[in-house]
Structure 1
Amino acid sequence: MESTAATGPSAATRASAGSAAPSAPAAGAAAAASAALPDSERHATPEYAAMRERMDWEKFREHGRGMVDFISDYYSGVEKLPVKSQVKPGYLAELLPRSAPEAPESVGDVMKDVREHILPGITHWQHPSFFSYFPANTSYPGLLGDMLASCFNVIGFSWIASPAATELESITLDWLGELIGLPESFLTRGGKGGGVIQGTASEATIVALLASRARALSRDRDGAPALDAGDGGALEDAMAPKWCVYGSDQAHSSAKKACMVAGIPLARYRCIPSKREDNYSLDVAALREAMRKDKEAGLRPLFVLATCGTTSSGAMDDLVAASAAAKEHDAWMHVDAAWAGSACICPEFRGMLRGIENCDSIDFNPHKWLLTNFNCSTMWVQDKEWLLQALSLTPEYLRSKEYEAKVVQDYRDWQIPLGRRFHSLKLFFVLRVFGAEGLRSFIREHVALATRFREMIEADDRFEMPVPQSLSLVCFRLKAGNAPTERLLEMLNEGGSAFMVHTKLSGDFVIRMAVGNPRTEIRHVDRVWEEVRRCADVALAE
């Protein structure tokens, strides 16, 4: 990428000069540029005249082409790079200046540092042999949509702030909700419910918990229609220590953080133990018993978190049974399908959502496994009123006649921050450019690749799988025990040709193989299997 790779001093050689004043020639050029302008266009200082030149959008045209080339070259060559960064902690502080530069630098200088100093510190999530955590998909349509969002740069907190940002989000969330099989009651066109894009599934859990508090307080106040600051505080202070939240011991850690944010004591978070024989899904019998005991003790079951596709092992909680238990105690039922929800675009995987009609909210991340770059976490609720009661504040400067007439929705009322990006543009591009059939084939291919890996594990009697394959996730370990399995993973990641992480299930050290990168092919799965076998040979011989 010639236009952004101009030669120039590296950050290390500039470190001592990072605060230098502009040179005399530079100041003279700035003064000349300012003097050449008509009086009506002349700026207050020569320095700002030079700055205006640097902000010229024709420069974006020049450098933007180079950046597109850089990005395309990165994706074409990422397979040749080690998956996991090999740098040591603190490496970058030794390479970059202590202070920001005083004088302007060229884009070429910046990109030189990106190549020489930033890239070595990147763990390449877009590498076809990245099998860690869960995937972080991206695609060129998603990037194009994100470029447009950055171009328009609207802060779409309200309809009037940019009507298209609000309305496109409602439409694309209706499209996506329909594609994964959600009932009409979760869609904006359905009436009371609707969808919203959150930053992450963790944020969605927090928002759902806050909505559950609003509903509980409202019902405890005999169905009063509003939670007004004048009289809601005392009731809230009285109720908060009594509220209880429930989730499996395999539920995401964000559930506990949600309690911390919502002011619910962690002592009231009920971590329901899961069992190996249930494949570590939520034990609904134990959930019912915990809720019964809390009710008898004068406490209030508030919120149940069920997971479709837990992080450790891909466990699927029973939504039918869990939602029935929640309903008995008028508790909010939220479904965290952060990873697995994308698979519901395929009818054959939609069984995990059986019972969703009895749940209050659900969230999943297209930025994990649906080719939409981070961040894009899609959340739906059956009754948006509780979100509004929990999160709506309208200072005078945010009022509009459309909002007051309730003919529009302002998404600031559906989230914790005020500001929000035009997130729906990238999802809009992905859904249209790939189409539902293309996205289904994408999901199915990854499940097939994981099945191939699972079959190779099963054919080697040195290995075992503590849980069944879950979609594109395979969990495995050496039968010889924790130490050899841990050594296998250490050698695999040190080699740089692949990257996986571990979990622990019933005390067993387990390796997770999560397929999900758009560039992963059969040859990558076969290659990593050969590497796993080689590392197993060494680990078992030590």
Structure 2
Amino acid sequence: MNPDEFRDWSRKAAEWGADYRETLRERPVRAQTQPGDILAQIAASPPEAAEPMETILADFEEKIVPGMTHWQHPRFFAYFPANAAPVSVVAEYLVSAMAAQCMLWQTSPAATELETRIVDWMRQALGLPEGFSGVIQDSASSATLAAVLVMRERALGWQGNKQGLSGQPAIRIYCSDQVHTSIDRAIWVSGIGEENLVRIPTAGALRGMDIAALEAGIAADKAAGFLPAGIIACVGGTSIGGTDDIAGVCAVAARHGLYVHVDAAWAGSAMICEEFRHYWAGVDGADSIVFNPHKWLGAQFDCSIQFIREPDSLVKTLAIQPEYLKTHGKDGIINYSEWSVPLGRRFRALKLWFLLRAHGLEGLRKMIRNHVRWSEKLAARLAAEPGFEIVSEPMLSLFSFRHQPPAGSDADRHNLALVNAINDDGRIYLTQTRVDGQVAIRFQAGQFETTEADIDSAFKTITEIACRRHENG
């Protein structure tokens, strides 16, 4: 592709992207294909000769797009959002065009220094104290793994990387059953082992860890010869928004010398609104905090910020400095590859810089406040409908509900069939979970361009399909 062709196709790709975003409401939210449909349309062997771009783009539109679930759709109410505000997409065009490898300060000084500034902007926006610095990771999974590795190394006197875990006391990490499965993976990958992830019972409306049970569990483990290392607390868990008493968790950790990592991957974005910060009161006592601007804030995936109280501990755990990665003759620099598990790093700070400047914190606060208000209103409307039960009250913009089945029908089977029918309809997209062992349907508002009319459409779709299924048995 010569420079003129690159310019022409870059324009066409940008125009396609703008048309796509403009017409999203006309598309079904979830892909309406069956397993294998797309695979059957893709050539089984790679081409020997070059093909024209016109043919490639046409195949993209005809074969690939119909098999995509549209995460930027304003009626995407499933999982959590993976927002890409248009301004962050523009920033990513620029990042892709430069294609810089930003692993060290010297490999792109602007990327490193902008990251330093943007992380501090976000620290201020969330109301965190000056004692926190941080790094942009690819996802909360990587941030949590990094935190678990620090827990492990601190507990073993910084000898785990050198000596391995054989012959060491079994390390214990504590959390509730509301945490994301990325915590389980971090325990696996770190070598700590699933049996040493201790699930503390939950209590209260927010389903947070029982603080007394947490303290008792740590004491019992110490007495049994285990090595408690850290606690992973949760703010806004994936299932129904489970939220721990962060101040209580940090107090227990301080008494036992344990490291606290707070997973606020989704809910952390809401902390730009001061009225929601009670959900993580006491967070200034944590050692590490992660939240994902690529979820609710509008930064295109991937973009996860990990705030750290003592970055020296993270660097001590992860840094490897062969000669070819050293920066000679420069003092006081940061190499963010030493703050994360991967060596390679994308220029993730640019899209946040564009986003924050183009919308301002007040614009982003308005969006989040609307989502919370609209979800609360929808939950109230569903609760007033015959046959509907609110299973978990709104935690920010997330709640769950259940529909009463026809007489003699199984409730779990009915609600699974209901959520599948809703998603097959195409107007909205929801997901299911289990609450106290029973199926419930999750709803969360968070897509960047969702309007109140889209929430009204959700109410209409849910109630119409539920009524139809109830009548048909």
State which structure, 1 or 2, has the greater radius of gyration over its C-alpha atoms. Answer: 1
- Corresponding residue for residue 399 of structure 1: 326
Structure 2 residue identity aligned to 1:306: A
1:128 partnered with 2:53:
no
- Corresponding residue for residue 176 of structure 1: 122
Aligned pairs (5 A) from 1:359-370? 359-370=286-297
Aligned residues of 2:206 and 2:244 also touching (Cα < 8 A):
no
- Corresponding residue for residue 134 of structure 2: 195
> Where do 5+ consecutive residues of structure 2 fail to align?
406-410
Aligned-residue sequence identity (percent) comes to 37
- Report the CA distance between 1:61 and its aligned residue: 1.3
Aligned residues of 1:308 and 1:352 also touching (Cα < 8 A):
yes
- Report the CA distance between 1:485 and its aligned residue: 2.1
Structure 2 residue identity aligned to 1:534: E
Q: Distance in 2 between matches of 1:286 and 1:363?
A: 25
Identify which of 15, 21, 25 aligns with 1:79.
Answer: 25
Q: Distance in 2 between matches of 1:121 and 1:138?
A: 19
Q: Distance in 2 between matches of 1:177 and 1:58?
A: 43
Q: Distance in 1 between matches of 2:207 and 2:391?
A: 10
- Corresponding residue for residue 375 of structure 1: 302
Aligned pairs (5 A) from 1:37-52? none
Q: Distance in 1 between matches of 2:205 and 2:443?
A: 21
Aligned residues of 1:227 and 1:389 also touching (Cα < 8 A):
no
- Corresponding residue for residue 413 of structure 2: 483
Aligned pairs (5 A) from 1:519-538? 519-538=449-468
Aligned pairs (5 A) from 1:270-289? 270-275=198-203, 277-289=204-216
Give the 3-state SS of the residue equivalent to 1:468 in structure 2.
strand
Q: Distance in 2 between matches of 1:216 and 1:302?
A: 5
Identify which of 265, 280, 283 aligns with 2:193.
Answer: 265
CA offset digits 1:171-227 (Å, max 9, x no partner): 0000011100111100xxxxxxx2101111011100001112222233xxxxxxx75
Which structure has more relative contact order (CA 8 Å, sep 6+)? It is 2
Q: Distance in 2 between matches of 1:58 and 1:307?
A: 51
- Corresponding residue for residue 98 of structure 1: 44
Q: Distance in 1 between matches of 2:198 and 2:240?
A: 20
Give the 3-state SS of the residue equivalent to 1:184 in structure 2.
coil
Q: Distance in 2 between matches of 1:228 and 1:528?
A: 51
CA offset digits 1:393-445 (Å, max 9, x no partner): 00011112256x4x111111111111100110111100111111111111111
Identify which of 207, 225, 229 aligns with 2:146.
Answer: 207
Please, which moves more after superposition, 426-435 or 453-462?
A: 453-462
Structure 2 residue identity aligned to 1:249: D
Q: Distance in 2 between matches of 1:466 and 1:513?
A: 11
- Corresponding residue for residue 237 of structure 1: 166
- Corresponding residue for residue 10 of structure 1: none
Aligned residues of 1:212 and 1:386 also touching (Cα < 8 A):
no
Give the 3-state SS of the residue equivalent to 1:487 in structure 2.
helix
Structure 2 residue identity aligned to 1:412: S
- Report the CA distance between 1:153 and its aligned residue: 1.5
1:493 partnered with 2:423:
yes
- Report the CA distance between 1:468 and its aligned residue: 1.4
- Report the CA distance between 1:490 and its aligned residue: 1.9
- Corresponding residue for residue 333 of structure 2: 408
Structure 2 residue identity aligned to 1:213: R
Structure 1 residue identity aligned to 2:428: A
Q: Distance in 1 between matches of 2:3 and 2:380?
A: 54
1:428 partnered with 2:353:
yes
- Corresponding residue for residue 15 of structure 2: 69
Give the 3-state SS of the residue equivalent to 2:156 in structure 1.
helix
1:162 partnered with 2:101:
no
> Where do 5+ consecutive residues of structure 1 fail to align?
1-53, 187-193, 219-225
Give the 3-state SS of the residue equivalent to 1:366 in structure 2.
coil
Structure 2 residue identity aligned to 1:510: A
Tell me the TM-score normalized by structure 1: 0.84
Q: Distance in 2 between matches of 1:435 and 1:512?
A: 30
Give the 3-state SS of the residue equivalent to 1:72 in structure 2.
helix
Aligned pairs (5 A) from 1:463-478? 463-478=388-403
Give the 3-state SS of the residue equivalent to 2:344 in structure 1.
coil
- Corresponding residue for residue 96 of structure 2: 150
Give the 3-state SS of the residue equivalent to 1:196 in structure 2.
strand
Identify which of 435, 438, 448 aligns with 1:508.
Answer: 438
Structure 1 residue identity aligned to 2:190: A
Structure 1 residue identity aligned to 2:368: I
- Report the CA distance between 1:509 and its aligned residue: 0.9
Structure 2 residue identity aligned to 1:261: V
Aligned-residue Cα RMSD (Å) equals 1.5
Please, which moves more after superposition, 74-83 or 149-158?
A: 149-158
Q: Distance in 2 between matches of 1:93 and 1:461?
A: 43
- Corresponding residue for residue 437 of structure 1: 362
Structure 2 residue identity aligned to 1:214: E
Structure 1 residue identity aligned to 2:152: R
CA offset digits 1:331-369 (Å, max 9, x no partner): 110000000000001111111221112110000000000
Please, which moves more after superposition, 144-153 or 258-267?
A: 144-153
Structure 2 residue identity aligned to 1:373: Q
Identify which of 381, 391, 413 aligns with 1:456.
Answer: 381
Give the 3-state SS of the residue equivalent to 2:107 in structure 1.
coil
CA offset digits 1:123-152 (Å, max 9, x no partner): 111111111000111112101211111122
Q: Distance in 2 between matches of 1:176 and 1:468?
A: 29
Q: Distance in 2 between matches of 1:154 and 1:524?
A: 39
Where in structure 1 do 4 or more consecutive aligned residues deviate above 6 Å?
Answer: none
- Report the CA distance between 1:479 and its aligned residue: 4.1
How many residue pairs were aligned? 467
Q: Distance in 2 between matches of 1:439 and 1:466?
A: 29
Aligned residues of 2:398 and 2:443 also touching (Cα < 8 A):
yes
- Report the CA distance between 1:540 and its aligned residue: 2.5
Q: Distance in 2 between matches of 1:428 and 1:215?
A: 34
Aligned residues of 2:176 and 2:201 also touching (Cα < 8 A):
yes
More helix by share: 1
Q: Distance in 1 between matches of 2:467 and 2:126?
A: 43
